[in-house]
Amino acid sequence: MYDVIVIGSGPAGITSAIYAKRRNLSVLVISNEKAILQKAENIDNYYGFPNGITGKQLYENGIKQAENLKIKLLKDEVVNIKYQNNFIIETVNSNYETKSVILATGANRETLNIKGVKEFEGKGISYCAICDAYFYKGKDVAVLGSGNYAIHELMQLKPVASSVTILTNGAELVQNREISNINVIEKPIREFIGDSKLQEIEFEDNTKKKISGIFIAQGIASSSDLARKIGARIENGYIVVNENMETTVPNLFACGDCTGGIMQISKAVYEGCKAGLSVLKNI
Amino acid sequence: MEIVNLNSENFKQEVLEESKTVLIDFWAEWCMPCKMMAPVVDEIAKEKEADLKVAKVNIDENEDLAMEYNVMSIPTFIIIKQGKEVARTIGVQAKEEILKLL
């Protein structure tokens, strides 16, 4: 059992871990070691680097700094968060229990541009298998995604739905759970169709498939995906936090790009600091 | 004010024949977002006691009502005036967002 589990190892996540660790809390950082920061060619607007620094170097410095401060780092992919007296963090490989969570996985930059997605939200399009599987008892459903997160959502739906298909929308299915017997359609999707409810998928090759529900699980589970499942308030895709970076769920914090606002390192560092100082304040 | 638990027996009397505006919260025990909204719903019931009836549908026990109202995601909040649905909203949200719909 940890005091704090931080999900994400960019500037917000690592800073929050540093401040929490300083307060003698037991801290674990879980991340897939992919941060948007690594893609920044040259950063010349961040304090203290007279000649600028590459995003990759700054990211690696942060990891090294955390290691030097004896912060435990784990490479894994988080697919779900549950709450039973404490938080349970489910990853592809294991489960971890913690008193509090800091979400810092960045913002979801993959936007879904399929016609009908917005229109059928709550009418066949869902973002949470665990919440909405119940409504698709004995029906044909699909998961839109191509990674471990999509597979996790598929496993939630399998016992309930009549059939579950993975829609990769042109991508290749990459998963490391080695689950067999999965129906996969890799064709690109053009549109989701229906009247008052979702009824059909139309693919780019003009073929169609009848469907009652589609669960969106693209890429890796983002902070807002995880926050939504546990009941935190999301507005316009960003997690709502108070001035202490606490979400609407007690002991669940969020910092960095996933809370919206200015997508800058300085802001991520400030919010990480705030979260690390605020988490479990009253113990 | 007390929050009314709805079922197919009392639905007509408590909702359709109610003269006040009714806010129905469709929820389930296993739904974390629903649990997070429960205190918000309680607050609304208290604040609007004079002109609003607040009711809940446990969808596990009342699948028929969930189906009748086309509920496909929870929490779903439906507002009924004079027996007719006038608004609905889905998911965790601020109290003010729900109050706006009343």
For A114-156, how does the pLDDT look when each residue is reduced to its tens digit (9 = 90+)? Answer: 999 989 988 999 988 988 999 999 999 999 999 999 999 999 9
Residue A21 in domain: yes
In this complex, the residue of B32, B72, B94 whose CB is nearest that of residue A124 is: B72
Specify whether A189 is located in the same domain as A273.
Answer: no
Residue A265 in domain: yes
In this complex, the residue of B32, B72, B93 whose CB is nearest that of residue A123 is: B72
For chain B, the domain total comes to 1
CB contact under 8 A, B66 and A135: yes
Specify whether A130 is located in the same domain as A193.
Answer: yes
Residue A28 in domain: yes
Q: Which CATH number covers residue B32?
A: 3.40.30.10
Write down the ipTM of this complex.
0.82
Residue A117 in domain: no
Specify whether A146 is located in the same domain as A169.
Answer: yes
Specify whether A102 is located in the same domain as A178.
Answer: no
CA-to-CA distance for A80 and A91, rounded, in angstroms?
7
The low-confidence residues of chain A, meaning pLDDT below 70, are: 109-110, 177, 283
Please give the pLDDT value at position A109.
Answer: 67
Residue A154 in domain: yes
Residue A53 in domain: yes
Closest-approach residue (CA) in chain A for B93: A233
> At which of A216, A235, A264 does a domain end?
A216
Q: Which CATH number covers residue A35?
A: 3.50.50.60
Q: Which residue has the tokens 């006040």?
A: B20
Chain A CB within 8 Å of residue B74 CB: yes
Domain that holds residue A238: 2-108+221-278
Specify whether A148 is located in the same domain as A206.
Answer: yes
Domain that holds residue B45: 4-101
User: B84 CA to chain A: closest CA distance, Å?
Assistant: 18
CA-to-CA distance for B32 and B98, rounded, in angstroms?
19
Q: What is the dihedral of CA A88, A3, B33, B62, to 10 degrees?
A: 50
Residue A175 in domain: yes
For chain A, the domain total comes to 2
CA-to-CA distance for B72 and A181, rounded, in angstroms?
27
> At which of A216, A231, A257 does a domain end?
A216
Partnered with residue A72 across adjacent β-strands are: A28
pLDDT band at B39 (very low <50, low <70, confident <90, very high): very high
CA-to-CA distance for B70 and A196, rounded, in angstroms?
10
Specify whether A103 is located in the same domain as A226.
Answer: yes
> At which of A197, A216, A235 does a domain end?
A216
Greatest CA separation found in chain B?
A: 32
Given a contact cutoff of 8 angstroms between Cβ atoms, the answer to whether A14 and A65 are in contact is yes
One-character DSSP codes across chain A: -EEEEEE--SHHHHHHHHHHHHTT--EEEEE-S--GGGG-S-B-SSTT-TT-B-HHHHHHHHHHHHHHTT-EEEE--EEEEEEESEEEEEESS-EEEEEEEEE-----------BTTTTTBTTTEES-HHHHGGGGTT-EEEEE-SSHHHHHHHHHHTTTSSEEEEE-TTSPP--SS---S-EEE-SPEEEEEESSSEEEEEETTS-EEE-SEEEE--SSPPHHHHHHHHT--EETTEE---TTSB-SSTTEEE-GGGG-S---HHHHHHHHHHHHHHTTTT-
Residue A119 in domain: no
Specify whether A80 is located in the same domain as A178.
Answer: no
Q: What pTM was estimated for this model as a whole?
A: 0.89
Specify whether A8 is located in the same domain as A130.
Answer: no
CB contact under 8 A, B32 and A131: yes
Average pLDDT over residues B63-85: 94
Specify whether A86 is located in the same domain as A33.
Answer: yes
Residues of chain B contacting residue A248, judged by C-beta atoms under 8 Å apart: 36, 92
User: A86 CA to chain B: closest CA distance, Å?
Assistant: 13
Please give the pLDDT value at position B3.
Answer: 92
In this complex, the residue of A135, A197, A230 whose CB is nearest that of residue B32 is: A230
Specify whether A250 is located in the same domain as A211.
Answer: no
Specify whether A94 is located in the same domain as A131.
Answer: no
Active site annotation includes B34: yes
Burial B25-60 (b: 16+ CB within 10 A, else e): bbbbeebbbbbbbeebbeebbeebeeebbbbbbbbe
